[in-house]
Amino acid sequence: MLKVWGRVNSVNVKKVLWMLDELGIAYDRSDAGLEHGVVDTPAYRAMNPNGRVPTLEDGGFVLWESNSILRYLAVKHGSALYPADPQARASADRWMDWQLSTLSPAERNLFWGLVRTPADKRDMASVVAAMKAAATCWAMVDAWIARQGGPFLDGAQMTIADIVLGCYARRWFGDEVRVEGMPPFPALAAWYAKVGERPGFQRWVGVPMT
């Protein structure tokens, strides 16, 4: 049986758990990270030298980095969520890489500044700056979805890129991160409502953020 190491309130762990629900695969999960510890133990560092979550164990094979885990699971189990067509697959890869390189750094202080920082210790100037940076990113996705025609990121077929960006869109649309001046992004909102229908999203992503 697969083993997932990671706490359920980690956005990167959520990606993997949602993907496993899409695939209908049984697995075992152990809490790790933040208040759960574990990640700094020698045994865990032997699996994942970054000391982060998630980590996937599949028999004797160990894999870390959430987007790589999604690709691995999709390929191993022949999932259409990672398209066979080279151009469609490259587009999904493009959005997953963009999440790592551009979206995550832009929005980090929005989520951490409001959800993981007590109200009396918040740096609202940093939060507002992060909101504006995240808005620039989401404006690009909104325009892209409008051009593609939806309902998913690259058109009619859902891919693992929808899982990855769906987990981050939860941070943008969540009541926990409301900041004055956040643009509505209608095409993005329609896409978010569509991915929000997935049982895996509802189980792991659409829950209160902590």
pLDDT (0 to 100) of residue 60: 93
pLDDT (0 to 100) of residue 125: 97
Contact between 4 and 56 (Cβ < 8 Å)? yes
pLDDT (0 to 100) of residue 76: 98
Please name which of 207, 173, 175 lies closest in space to residue 192, comparing C-alpha atoms. Answer: 173
Contact between 56 and 63 (Cβ < 8 Å)? yes
Task: Please state the pTM of the whole predicted model.
Answer: 0.97
Quickly count: other Cβ atoms within 10 Å of residue 183's Cβ.
14
pLDDT (0 to 100) of residue 40: 97
The domains of the chain, with CATH numbers, are 2-76 (3.40.30.10), 86-198 (1.20.1050.10)
pLDDT (0 to 100) of residue 133: 98
Convert the pLDDT of each residue in 6-36 to its tens digit: 999 999 999 999 999 999 999 999 999 999 9
Please name which of 125, 134, 136, 126 lies closest in space to residue 170, comparing C-alpha atoms. Answer: 134
Burial of residue 125 (CB within 10 Å: 0-12, 13-18, 19+) is exposed
Convert the pLDDT of each residue in 136-185 to its tens digit: 999 999 999 999 999 999 999 999 999 999 999 999 999 999 999 999 99
Instruction: Report the C-alpha gap between 72 and 141 in whole angstroms.
Output: 25
Read off φ and ψ for residue 154, nearest 5 degrees: -110, 30
pLDDT (0 to 100) of residue 100: 98
Average pLDDT for residues 181-200, to the nearest whole number? Answer: 97
Under the banding of pLDDT at 50, 70 and 90, the label for residue 123 is very high
105: its two tokens: 């750094």
Under the banding of pLDDT at 50, 70 and 90, the label for residue 74 is very high
Under the banding of pLDDT at 50, 70 and 90, the label for residue 41 is very high
pLDDT (0 to 100) of residue 135: 98
Please name which of 85, 91, 44, 52 lies closest in space to residue 69, comparing C-alpha atoms. Answer: 52
Q: What is the mean pLDDT of the chain?
A: 97
Instruction: Report the C-alpha gap between 203 and 154 in whole angstroms.
Output: 24
Helix 160-173 with 66-76: angle, nearest 10 deg: 140
Largest CA distance in the chain: 51
Convert the pLDDT of each residue in 42-62 to its tens digit: 999 999 999 999 999 999 999
